[in-house]
Amino acid sequence: MTYALSPSQAGQLAARGRVLLRRRQITVHQAALLDAMLWGARRPGSAMLTASLQVLARLAGQGRSTVAEGIKRLAELGLIQKIKRRVRVAWGGSVASRVVANAYRLLVTDTESSRQTAREQTSIISIMETPSLEQRVAAKLLENRRKQLEARWIQERSAQNWPV
């Protein structure tokens, strides 16, 4: 599902963030995070963005914990919606679930009812297809190659009397 965000809607969201800042409902750091999400992390015209905390921290010039707290606050206020994502991957002959970077949806709310749904936190699980035989064989070959390289690395380190 694609969500569009026009330049005027992005401006409205930025203006709403400035109003919340003046009312002291968000901090300067949270306002900077919102700006980074609006103008630096998303593609033009899209209301969705996928970025790790590290990327958002770099864009906003903040620490990861500050960004995590800011995302929580912005979601509480209905400015963004956090979408947790997981993928299933082939791992050691079976399937494992891994956490990937969260997605965020920038929300422009017009009515009270839409504000209420904006606060709901959504969890979306992205599931990849069950690995085919070729994928399982490739994963096994990669795992064997990794073990060979690790063994060679350990052997080289011990030959040079380096701690392993």
In this prediction, residue 132 carries a pLDDT of 74
pTM of the model: 0.63
Tell me, yes or no, whether 91 and 162 share the same domain. no
35 by Cβ neighbours in 10 Å (0-12 / 13-18 / 19+) ranks as middle
Predicted confidence (pLDDT) per residue in 30-62, tens digit:
999 999 999 988 888 888 999 899 999 999 999
Go through the chain and tell me how many residues it has: 164
pLDDT of residue 120: 44
Q: Is residue 27 part of a domain?
A: yes
My answer on whether 146 and 78 are in the same domain is no
CATH code: domain of residue 111: 1.10.10.10
Amino acid 96: pLDDT: 83
Q: Is residue 1 part of a domain?
A: no
Distant-in-sequence, close-in-space partners of 147: CB < 8 Å, separation ≥ 6: none
Q: Are residues 41 and 61 in the same domain?
A: yes
Q: Do 13 and 94 belong to one domain?
A: yes
CB neighbours (10 Å) of residue 6? 12
Number of domains present in the structure of the chain: 2
For residue 87, what pLDDT is reported? 84
Count H helices and E strands in the chain, helices first: 6, 4
- The answer on 104 and 53 residing in a single domain is yes
Asked, for residue 59, whether it belongs to a domain, the answer is yes
> Cα 75 from chain centroid?
14
Report, as ranges of residue numbers, the positions in the chain whose pLDDT lies below 70.
1-2, 110-131, 162-164
What pLDDT, on a 0 to 100 scale, did the predictor assign at position 114?
Answer: 43
110 lies in the same domain as 153:
no
Q: How high is the pLDDT of residue 150?
A: 84
Q: Residue 79: which of 104, 49, 61 has the closest Cα?
A: 104
Please report the pLDDT score of residue 129 as a whole number. 56
Domain with 92, as residue range(s), is 7-129
Q: What's the pLDDT at 145?
A: 86
